[in-house]
Structure 1
Amino acid sequence: IIPLNFISKTKKNTYFEYKYSFDADIIISQPYEVMGINGYTTPLVYRYIVKTEQFNQQYYYDNDDLGAVVANGITTFKLWAPTANNVILSINDKYFKMNRNDGSGIFSLSFSGDLSGSIYNYIVSVNGNTYTTIDPYGKASTANSKNSVVVNIEKEEVIQLEKTADPIIYEVAIRDYSEEGTFNGLIPHLDYISDLGITHIQLLPVNDFGSVNDHHKDIYYNWGYDPIQYQALEGSYCSDPTDPLLVIEEFKNLCKEIHNRKLKVILDVVFNHHYYAIRSSFNKVVPYYYFRYDENNKFCEGSFCGAELDTKLKMCRKYIVDTLIYFVRQFDVDGYRFDLMSFIDVDTMLEIENSLKNFKEDIMLFGEGWVMKTGEKQLKLANYSNSKLMENIGFFNDEFRDVIKGDSFECCATGYGTGNVWQAKKAIEVMKAKRFYKPSQSINYVECHDDMTCFDKIKHCCINEDLQQLVRRQKLLISCVLLAKGVSFLHAGQEFCRSKQGLKNSYNAPDAINKINHEQKEKYQDVIKFTKDLIEIKKDYCFGLADVRYSEKEGTIIGKYQDLTFIINPSQQEFVYTFRGKKQVILNEEGKQDFEIEKELVVKSVTTVVLREL
């Protein structure tokens, strides 16, 4: 019995809060009870102690063998649960008490043989409660995240690709682009994407998410920004969601097919929040550890999407790094896009960079760096104002988006490319990528999965223009992205005027809204040709790295680099460009060209032209 020392009593809205202290050492994980003067007891909960520096130092576990690991004919289960007093392994309907290592807080148990395909869960007793949970480090699970499944991890053979000097990212949602909505279904479209000239395919979240029922995926739709398991893949993207090992093989094959075409793979990851924190394996295994809490002891939810992960804590940070390393080693992933990266602290992002570069020197890292309200008040966060601290990590440039296309939150607001020629000087500034510490940190885009598609936006803010003029604007906006300094980013279907019927946020809209209409490729083949041809020129001259000399005249932008001159005319008037001698027109609104002009060129309204010196 340990006596308590009274400190204070405070009246809250519906209860009294008592504070006590005690002078004794306690054993973390040992179940204790607090007894009142009436003899009633309540469990002592390990809560704020898990946030202390001493706890994080004492129970940090540095090895890379958490989860179910098959090696040398032995299957070993390891779970980090320092505050738990007991853990039972439930495997194939049998139950085994796990052994605790008090020094690290690890519970472990080993079996002879390869138990691949075995179904398992942990039964964790902690803080007076008992929870059944999947494995946070589980690499596979049965449908709808019900149980973890043992996987014998075999390292993927690495396909050596050349370092990309001037990346062009193409954002793809598996369900949207594939007719069947599966990993396998994307493969027939890879030749088209490769032929377009893309260097990196960015996949919307492919890890297990919560809002689509694997057994009835046709009823539900979601982009996948509601993570349940970070290391297991999304079952609805498998040809057979009831086979937890098949989805790994199909995703591995997709990554291999992408690499075979000399394209690289970027995964969209969501470490800023969890879909359902209270029911998560994190909260059941080490309650109160993995998430941020406010002054009222409630989850911080600054993103309005779910509880924020407390990324500064050592084992939370380790989990993120371990997960990213797993996908690089297992699937040869080439980069990551971090959803709401500004909820992750700078030190975690730097550790991610340093750790991943040990496996892949040219790993590509970037994310959303908006400054948002968060529960983290002490540390510097990975938002664009701290770009100098993370010079090898990129940021989506929403300023570029809004200056070139028009404010995304006002559907009728125009930008430079949609006819607001008074924005020409500002457009030059964003095309120079001056916003961040290094130009290579600027992810330049006018369309992504969020907000209206570019073509839908154009139809709203250029309502008096005919279809032919709207299509020319689509080309002009694409040209601004591809000719700007920084990293070019295109959304799948942007090059054939994709529409989502004007919907601003289609995250859970049905397939009728989100599904790619591949028949539009034929209708808008001129836009595809223009995009492909300009990408070829971009690659030849590495415009993403170029120090272009800009000028502006009558709202028209003129850029000069090496022996090239490009002219962007978003107005509804023709622009006469005069010069000395002769030049060769190598691109206009119809794509690649090859004819000479002398002394002047009449640049049509709403077009981009590229000239070469003779």
Structure 2
Amino acid sequence: MVNRITRRAHFGRGAFTTAAVLAAALTPLSSALAADAGICDGDAFQAVLHPAAAAFDARAAWIDGTALLWPGAAQGGAFRLYYSATGAIKALPGNAVAGAEGFLPLAADDRPVAPGLAWMGKGVVLAVAAVDAGRLPALHRGQLVLVHEDAQGKVLDATRVQVAGALDALYASAEAVPDLGATPRAGQTAFKLWAPTARNVLLCTYDSGSAPASAAAPMRLDAATGVWSAELPANLDGKYYKYAVDVFVDGAGVVRNLVTDPYAVSLTTDSRRAYIADLAAPRLKPAGWDADRPPVKVKAQTDMSIYELHVRDFSIDDTTVSAANRGKYSAFTEKNSNGMRHLAALSRAGLTDVHLLPVYDIGSVPEQGCAVPDAARLRAAAPDSATQQQLVEAVRLTDCYNWGYDPWHYSAPEGSYSTDPADGARRIVEFRQMVMALHGAGLRVGMDVVYNHTYIAGQNEKSVLDRVVPGYYHRLDAKGAIERSTCCDNTATEHRMMGKLMIDSAVLWTQHYKIDSFRFDLMGHQPRAAMEVLQRKVNAVAGRHVNLIGEGWNFGEVADGKRFVQASQLSLNGSGIGTFSDRGRDAVRGGGAGDAGLDMFARQGYINGLFYDPNGSAQHTKEALLKAGDLLKIGLAGTVRGYKLQTWTGETRDLATIDYAGQAAGYASAPGEVVNYVENHDNQTLYDLNVLRLPLATSTADRARVQMLAAAVNAFSQGVAYFHAGFDILRSKSLDRNSFESGDWFNRLDWTYRDNYFGTGLPPQADNGKDYALLRPLLANAALKPAPADIAFARDTFRDLLKIRAGSTLFRLRTADDIRQRLRFHNTGPDQVPTVVAAQIDGKGYPGAGFRSVLYLLNVDKVAQRIALPAGARRPYRLHPVQAAANAADPRAKEARYDAATGTVTVPARTAVVFVE
């Protein structure tokens, strides 16, 4: 809840008058106010200096610095832009405007509406007269209300005007300002804050995260950029700061926000103060940091094989990690822990990257003093009990667990993962130590970043952007409310300075933390143009290519390019930026991301019984299985647009012409633009989905085999291979469909390989309660819980698959032309064996191929299957050396048979096999 203090206020020594307010809108903070250190030390994060008389919708939008669009406005009458420095305007229909200090007349204008505003619809375009244009920057620091009046001066309609278009035009040069934030140098520290609508800004500095203010200095406004700046005559590296920003907020009035910095690079506990740091200073560098380099494993984006990992999940339950380091960045430095030995083994097998779920500063967990549920009661409760979720729910808002898709400060490391969140330096150093430790294990480091929304907006204490420049940083709807299609308060990276914040943040992580790759949450809500600028800039500071992938889903208020060309699946052709593909994902596991109720059982997929092994709930046809097989092949072919596939009907078609839910199944220009996955942090784990979809009698040994069939699909698919941490050890979340704040209990990982944590209680009620009647008997069924031998089989088979992928570039082809020329599918068309996928890749003359050709087959059926290769495809094949080795994980692969004379291949049940020439 917002804790506001309302009081009368004054600027300088005089009484609060309209003249004084207008002057304050144009001049820096007075020396009297600057001397009031109590402003910096107050407990309240906001004071209302002058309450607003009324709040208004914002149904109009600035096109540029002097013209605006009012959709739906009637013709005739007069249009005026009223202003008030104090927020005193009242504009009631049928009455004259009251409380304004004046107005600017507006005239109809014929300038075109920017494409980004076309979604608002047609309306009246109005412009400020040239003689008044110079007054607008100052007036934007107060209340502006657009009014349509009749001939008698009575209000017909009134609205605010969405401000982003004006600020982007008036302060375009701010985009080039290189050093926003705090910059300590020898003998001086510079501070810069973009706040063009602020009346005054006071800089507050502190010697520590808890000490009283050491100084309160007025900042000066640069009229050209809208940047407020101050220089203090000392190097304040290691100190802390905040800003007191006086700004008009619709509905609240003139407020003073005591706020941190959008460009903060570190913070004290719970983000109460921003930390001043020279990130190049030796004191912030672990030993060896300057010499540290990422492993050279990725020469092309298709070389990437990624393990998606949450910092806390990694070690919180690992007793081989020292107690102080569990759940922390520093856990990664304990190279002899079970978790680090696991990552090192994956690296040796061919894994290239660990992608960390959000590690920037998040707003949803306390950074110190976290609550924990009663461990004894958790362990004692029955496998199908509601007790575990009740215990987790009781501390949900005060425990230390959240996935972290709740951005507060984009460029500062999260403090709850530090051993001392009160020390702004510690989290920087420990983050870097983590990066070095992963590099030392042979793994590159990627970050999951969430620039598409903030944790909260408006005047809430945990809002930063809106409390500095109200109404600018977030994407608004036709009434001026913040869009929330992403889950939370959507940011508008199409606006200059929000786009700049995103790009500058990514550059900082690349330059100062040696991040090798980024995974963008809901990237389709961002403009392609901004992502391409970001790509160029991170490459420049890294001196190498930085890999960018993201969720390119097309939905919400930006869908189908309504506001800009999106960074979405269908709009990134040729960019080299990868997007997650739902084509192969849904074909492999069945159903969709939102399945609930009986659909969770009925919607089987290619690997878990679709048609050939019905579970009693499903009513599938052979045609459905054949269609799923085609989608699977599309994924194996890198989802590239121009690849030609013989479909189940016998037609040969470009992948771009094959339908997937009303879209092109093949959408990429190059395989590096596709990320293949069958499980990630969202939704149920694949093991849990297979509990729902495989027939109940399926043995746990076969369940492990089914999971490794999915792993093989991912490993053999052209493009980027992406795996959720624990996928290789049959990770379960006890059927939880959304574990983002389900605590450590439902998100644990067992690096001893004894337990996958299936049957550890009913998952949290909020997202799963409606299905408890369906879930309870499954969780109580001990026959569904894998034995350690099943987990070991999956672990070792997964590593063999990584070795096969890493050992030959034929599984990592570089271009769409390579795929078109070298990849061939057999066993296609109407007469195929529908449960077998067979593909051949020509390696002749291909750099890094290692073999003249490879043949891989996946048999998802419960019984062995046999197919015959066409005469032209027969080669002197032998089993792949990894699968033929004495220590190979899957003995069944050795039972596969290939007859070169007849081209007949026999594949055992539920087995993936690779032959090589």
The answer to whether the superposition gives a TM-score over 0.5 is yes
Deviations 1:4-62 (A, max 9, x none): x95389xxxx96498964353316246557899xxxxxxxx996344227635545241
CA deviation string 1:101-141 (max 9, x = no partner): 22222211122332123221100112222111001111111
Q: 1:377 aligns with which of 546, 556, 562?
A: 562
Tell me how far apart the structure 2 counterparts of residues 399 and 145 of structure 1 sit (CA, whole Å). 41
1:97 corresponds to which letter in structure 2? P
Is residue 470 from structure 1 mapped to residue 665 from structure 2 by the alignment? Answer: no
**Runs of 5+ unmatched residues, structure 2:** 1-18, 23-76, 82-90, 98-102, 106-128, 148-158, 207-212, 249-253, 282-288, 317-325, 373-398, 611-624, 640-665, 755-787, 814-818, 843-852
Q: Report if the CA contact (8 A) 2:80-2:104 is conserved.
A: no
Confirm whether residue 176 of structure 1 aligns to residue 302 of structure 2. no
- CA distance in 1 between counterparts of 2:859 and 2:184 reads 61
1:125 and 1:424 map into 2 onto residues whose CA distance is 61
In structure 1, stretches of 5+ residues that fail to align are 37-44
Match of residue 41 from structure 1: none
Summarize deviations over 1:296-349 as a string: whole Å, max 9, x none: 11111121x222111112111111111000001101111111000011011111
- The letter for the 2-side match of 1:308 is N
How far did 1:377 drift? 3.0
Change (3 A) 1:46 1:287: farther
**Matched residue, 1:96:** 217
Residues 132-160 of structure 1 deviation map (CA, whole Å, 9 limit, x = unaligned) = 10011111111112111111211762515
Q: Which residue of 1 aligns with 2:299?
A: 164
Question: Is 1:495 equivalent to 2:609 in the alignment?
Answer: no
Secondary structure of the residue aligned to 1:348 is helix
2:566 is the alignment partner of 1:431: no
Equivalent residue for 2:859, pick from 540, 561, 569: 569
Bigger Rg, which one = 2
- Structure 1 residues 151, 582: CA separation in 2 closer, same or farther (over 3 Å shift)? same
Deviates more, 1:146-155 or 1:468-477: 146-155
Using a 3 Å threshold, how does the CA distance of structure 1 residues 559 and 34 change in structure 2: closer, same or farther?
closer
Q: Judge conservation of contact 2:343–2:441 (CA < 8 Å) in 1.
A: no
The one-letter amino acid paired with 1:429 is I
Of the three residues 475, 478, 482, the one matched with 1:295 is 478
Query: Hey, what's the Cα distance between the residues in 1 that align with 2:92 and 2:862?
Result: 68
Matches within 5 A, 1:300-339: 300-303=483-486, 305-339=487-521
Q: Decide whether the 8 Å contact of 1:47 with 1:288 is kept in 2.
A: no
Contact 1:397–1:443, Cα closer than 8 Å, also in 2:
yes
The question of whether the paired residues in 2 share the 8 Å contact of 1:6 and 1:21 is answered with: no
Give the structure 1 partner of residue 812 of structure 2. 544
1:416 & 1:596 partners in 2: Cα distance? 21
Displacement of 1:438 in angstroms is: 1.7
Q: Does 1:445 align with 2:677?
A: yes
Which of residues 403, 425, 434 is equivalent to 2:587? 403
Question: Which residue among 750, 754, 773 is the counterpart of 1:517?
Answer: 750
Number of the residue aligned with 1:414: 604
User: Is the Cα contact below 8 Å between 1:424 and 1:557 reproduced in 2?
Assistant: yes
Quick one: which amino acid aligns to residue 520 of structure 2?
F
Shift of 1:425: 2.6
Return the letter of the residue paired with 1:473: V
Alpha-carbon deviation of 1:86?
0.7
Bigger Cα displacement from structure 2, 594-603 vs 82-91: 594-603
Q: CA deviation at 1:609?
A: 1.1
Return the alpha-carbon distance in structure 2 between the equivalents of residues 242 and 54 of structure 1. 37
Q: For the residues of structure 2 that align with 1:478 and 1:103, how far apart are their CA atoms?
A: 55
Deviations 1:538-570 (A, max 9, x none): 112220215421122312111112332111000
Q: CA deviation at 1:608?
A: 0.8
| Whole-Å separation in 2 of the counterparts to 1:596 and 1:283 | 62
Mapped pair 1:204 → 2:357: yes
The range that moved more, 120-129 or 489-498, is 120-129
- CA deviations on 1:342-371 (whole Å, 9 max, x unpaired) are 110111111111211212332100111111
Instruction: Check whether the contact 2:269–2:422 (CA below 8 A) recurs between aligned residues.
Output: yes
- For 2:437 and 2:401, the matched residues in 1 are separated by 26
Amino acid at match of 1:168: S
Identical-residue share of aligned pairs (%): 26
Q: Are residues 370 and 273 of structure 1, via their aligned partners in 2, closer, same or farther at CA, if it must alter by over 3 Å?
A: same
Tell me how far apart the structure 2 counterparts of residues 561 and 581 of structure 1 sit (CA, whole Å): 12
Aligned to 1:113: 234
Q: 1:387 aligns with which of 560, 572, 577?
A: 572
- Relative distance call for 1:581 and 1:275 in structure 2 (3 A) is closer
Give the Cα separation in 2 of the matches to 1:269 and 1:558.
37
Distance, in Å, in 2 between the alignment partners of 1:21 and 1:27 is 9
Q: Which residue of 2 aligns with 1:40?
A: none
The answer to whether 1:610 aligns with 2:909 is: no
Give SS of 1:229's match. strand
Give the letter for the 2:570 counterpart: S
Structure 1 residue 253: Cα displacement? 0.8
Q: What is the CA-CA distance between 1:519 and the residue it aligns to?
A: 2.6
Q: CA deviation at 1:241?
A: 1.9
Q: Matched residue pairs, number?
A: 598
Cα separation, 2, equivalents of 1:544 and 1:581? 22
Match of 1:151 in 2: 277
Amino acid at match of 2:235: D
After superposition, the Cα gap between the structure-2 partners of 1:146 and 1:338, relative to the gap in structure 1 and judged at 3 Å, is same
Query: d(CA) in 1 for partners of 2:420 and 2:168?
Result: 46
Aligned pairs (5 A) from 1:136-285: 136-154=262-280, 157=290, 159=293, 161-162=295-296, 163-165=298-300, 166-179=303-316, 180-187=326-333, 188=335, 189-196=339-346, 197-217=350-370, 218=372, 219-278=399-458, 279=460, 280-285=463-468
Structure 1 residues 46, 132: CA separation in 2 closer, same or farther (over 3 Å shift)? farther
Paired with 1:496 and 1:424, the residues of 2 have a C-alpha distance of 26
Q: Deviations over 1:359-403 (max 9, x none)?
A: 233210011111111258331111111022x52100000111101
Map of 1:352-371 to 2, 5 A cutoff?
352-360=534-542, 361-371=544-554
Q: CA deviation at 1:168?
A: 0.3
- Structure 1 residues 292, 574: CA separation in 2 closer, same or farther (over 3 Å shift)? same
In 1, Cα distance between the equivalents of 2:294 and 2:580? 28
Closer, same or farther: CA 122–47 of 1 in aligned 2, 3 Å: farther
TM-score, normalised via structure 2 length = 0.62
The answer on whether the counterparts of 1:471 and 1:497 sit within 8 Å (CA) in structure 2 is yes
Secondary structure, counterpart of 1:460 in structure 2 = helix
Shift of 1:462: 0.2
Structure-2 change in CA distance of 1:591 and 1:391 (3 Å): farther
Provide the aligned C-alpha RMSD in A: 2.8
Measure, in 2, the Cα distance between the counterparts of 1:108 and 1:425. 59
TM-score, structure 1 normalization:
0.91
2:244 to 123, 136, 140: 123
Report how far residue 214 of structure 1 moved. Answer: 0.9
